[in-house]
Amino acid sequence: MDRRRPDDERRAWLWSRVRGHAAEEDLPVGIRQVCLTAAEVLDASGIVVYQVADSGRGEPVCVTGPLADRVSEAEITFGEGPAVDCLREEYPVTATDLAAADNVARWPVFAPFARSAGVAGVLAFPIMMGAIVVGCLEALRPATAPRTDDEVVDGLLLADAAMLLLLRAEPPPLGADPFADAVEARWAIVHQATGVVSVQLASDLATAFVRLRAHAYRTGRRLADVAADVLARDLRFHPDVEPDATPEPGQG
């Protein structure tokens, strides 16, 4: 008698798709292949996998393209959105129509931004290690559509797959995915700039990151671009001074 549960069969099928993508690219199985599989089964135009950093905030470790890159960076900058809530609530967050009044009220900055970027709906699933949330898998969808029970099952199973790979997988060789390398390099700049701002403010890293985000939001610039200005010494932050940052002497 076959005692396999439907979820076990679906998990095996999803892993076969993950391995298939790895074989097609001649790469080790990793988070990227989970993202590619998630894009297929969740009808998504972009996938983001976030991992909880030492500071407690979520940070992208895999994005599938420019749309996912831009939207995930904005979500972190705004401090609101499905992934932010998913990490905080440790529960799936589904917003099948970002234009719906309740979603606009819930995310008054993120929802219109995401819609303007071409995202109609978002599904976010927690990545759990036992009872601890360690990340989030977020699917950005180009069209409004009802969320199905099968999609929730697939999202949770792929989040489990992501958790295992975050623990075990070796990073792909440098140059195997130039876009991913560029995203990683930009977040490294944000890390470095956060450390510089913490010294300037004599604050902890969390406070420094909030100030960095606030300046990016207030000026309408990308977080990575603001961070680059900090490292270039074109921008310096001061404690309890408005606006949030002022140029170095001689920098305009």
Please, what are the domains in the chain?
Answer: 6-168 (3.30.450.40), 178-246 (1.10.10)
Residue bearing the bigger pLDDT, 250 or 52: 52
Give the pLDDT of residue 74: 94
Give the pLDDT of residue 249: 42
Residue 209 has pLDDT above 60, yes or no: yes
| CB hemisphere CA count around 236 (13 angstroms) | 11
- Encode pLDDT of 172-202 as tens digits: 666 666 777 788 888 899 989 999 999 999 9
> Stretch 217-222: mean pLDDT, rounded?
91
Cα(86)–Cα(136) distance, integer angstroms: 7
Whole-number Cα distances in Å, 194 to 197, 205, 210, 226: 5, 6, 9, 10
Residue 53 has pLDDT above 90, yes or no: no
Residue 243 has pLDDT above 60, yes or no: no
Q: Look up residue 239 and give its amino acid.
A: P
> Which one-letter DSSP state was computed for residue 203?
-
Give the pLDDT of residue 179: 76
Q: Look up residue 151 and give its amino acid.
A: E
Predicted TM-score (pTM) of the model is 0.85
Tokens of 165: 């790979």
Residue 206 has pLDDT above 90, yes or no: no
Task: Quote the mean pLDDT of the chain.
Answer: 88
- The three-point CA angle 112-118-121 to 5° equals 70
Q: Which of 51-65, 178-192, 238-252 has the lowest mean pLDDT?
A: 238-252
Cα(92)–Cα(100) distance, integer angstroms: 18
Residue 246 has pLDDT above 70, yes or no: no
73 touches 222 (CB < 8 A) = yes
Give the pLDDT of residue 192: 93
Of 135, 45, 123, the residue nearest 88 (C-alpha)? 135
